[in-house]
Amino acid sequence: MLYSMTGFGAAEGDIKGLSCAVEIKTVNNRYLKTNLKIPEPVAFLEEDIEKLLRSNLSRGTINFVLRLKEAPTNALFDIDEPALQALMERLSRLKFSAGINGTIDIASLLTLPGIMRPTTPDKQMSEQLRAMVLRISQEAIEKLKQMRAAEGSSLKSDLSNHCDAIHEDLARIRSRSGIVMKEYADRLKQRVDELLAEAKLKLDEQTLAREVAVLAERSDISEETARLDSHLQQFSQSLKADDQAGRRLEFISQEMLREANTIASKASDAEIIRSVVDMKCRIDRIKEQIQNVE
């Protein structure tokens, strides 16, 4: 199955009054890159989450966010009471000396650095947190995979359509290439006959055959069309593969474009060149789409 690198998954869970929410967003990337945003009280879970993501996903930029939605006041945070008391006393003295009326907002003081400190959960709580967070993270990953699979199915259909169109272009090029040499020989003979008519000279048939053979050698695209056809077959087989095919498809598409460029450089026929241009446009679209395949 083909998977897209773009997707989203979310899940929630709770334990002992502590509610957590996980969101995972992925976008395309040539390699695997993880960006984790984890609250400080549960930062000890970072390594486990990293391993879980890498065991399930092989390519793309992964943005993982863990939020603590609801928590008892003493569950994961503690107040540095001496620091808060010292700060309040200092503010009271400043208030008195400056003659300022009003009250001190304790809620605002709690937001200052160092006043609220994360507490380290005990061993039992840590294991329970680990189990819950990894469980909801796996749920979010499964939802993410479902979205990536749905988009991957659409990508597969689009890529297959482009390959079928390239096959048709290649068939036209092959049928036309067999006619080009005969048309070139006829045009060359007619032109030479016109030039030699005034001089009453006769064209040497061996010379004409030699000139046509030289052009045929320079313009022979049979090897390129055969290789391009082989690349198309490999591309179609890779679309049906069960493993991550993004990098393989990217390499094959580059080789397809290389053969198309060679055909264009060798071709001396306007119809063949038009077909090559159409083919290269489709290959470019394929290359763009592949950037989002895992």
**Same-domain status, 146 and 158:** no
Q: Say yes or no: 52 and 96 in one domain.
A: no
Domain that holds residue 36: 7-75+121-150
Burial class (CB in 10 A: 0-12, 13-18, 19+), 155: buried
Residues 47 and 58 in one domain: yes
Give 281's pLDDT tier (boundaries 50, 70, 90): very high
- How many domains is the chain built from? 3
For 106, residues 6+ apart whose C-beta sits below 8 A from its C-beta are 84, 88
Q: Taking each helix axis as running N to C, give the angle between helix 123-197 and helix 46-56, from 0 to 180 degrees, rounded to the nearest 10.
A: 40
- Residue 169 confidence (pLDDT) above 80: yes
- CB-CB contact of 176 with 274 (8 Å): no
Q: Are residues 84 and 158 in the same domain?
A: no
CATH (domain of 182): 1.20.140
Please list the residues that pair with 22 across neighbouring strands: 11, 66
Q: Are residues 82 and 215 in the same domain?
A: no
pLDDT band at 65 (very low <50, low <70, confident <90, very high): very high
- The residue from 59, 87, 110 where one domain ends is 110
Q: What is the CATH number of the domain that holds 34?
A: 3.30.230
Average pLDDT over residues 203-216: 59
Query: Residues 6 or more apart from 283 whose CB is under 8 A from it?
Result: 162, 166, 253, 256, 257, 260
The model's pTM is: 0.70
